[in-house]
Amino acid sequence: LLTVMKSLPLAYNKDLQEDKEGMFDTVETILNSLDVLAGMLSSLQVNKEKMQESTEKDFSNATELADYLAGKGLPFREAHEVVGRLVLDSIK
């Protein structure tokens, strides 16, 4: 929508009559998705023990470590390389 409007000399053009249908569909989809999400979250049960086990078994939190290092100022590419080397060293 914004791309179409960018090339218009004014903010309104009769050609924009059909743009609202897509917008209404998008809003309806988002509202339906939020209803589904609310239902999921209200019935969510967290198994803390299982979560703890899974973090100790594999390297599922490696990306989190790379994100942490990047947040501390290390470029993400370097953080990814550092964490990758840590994982490889841990496997050996």
Q: What is the mean pLDDT of each run of 10 residues along the chain (92 residues)?
A: 71 73 90 97 94 82 94 96 94 84
Domain assignment present for residue 35? The answer is yes
Helical spans, DSSP H, in 1-92:
2-6, 19-42, 48-57, 62-71, 76-91
Structural domain of 64: 46-92
Query: Residue 37's pLDDT is what?
Result: 98
Query: Residue 83's pLDDT is what?
Result: 96
Global pTM reads 0.45
Question: Does 91 lie in the same domain as 56?
Answer: yes
Query: Residue 11's pLDDT is what?
Result: 66
Question: Does 91 lie in the same domain as 54?
Answer: yes
Domain assignment present for residue 23? The answer is yes
Query: Residue 1's pLDDT is what?
Result: 66
Question: Does 87 lie in the same domain as 54?
Answer: yes
Question: Does 85 lie in the same domain as 56?
Answer: yes
Query: Residue 69's pLDDT is what?
Result: 97
Query: Residue 23's pLDDT is what?
Result: 84
Domain assignment present for residue 51? The answer is yes
Give, in degrees to the nearest 5, the angle at Cα 73 between 67 and 77. 55
Q: Count of domains in the chain?
A: 2
Question: Does 52 lie in the same domain as 23?
Answer: no
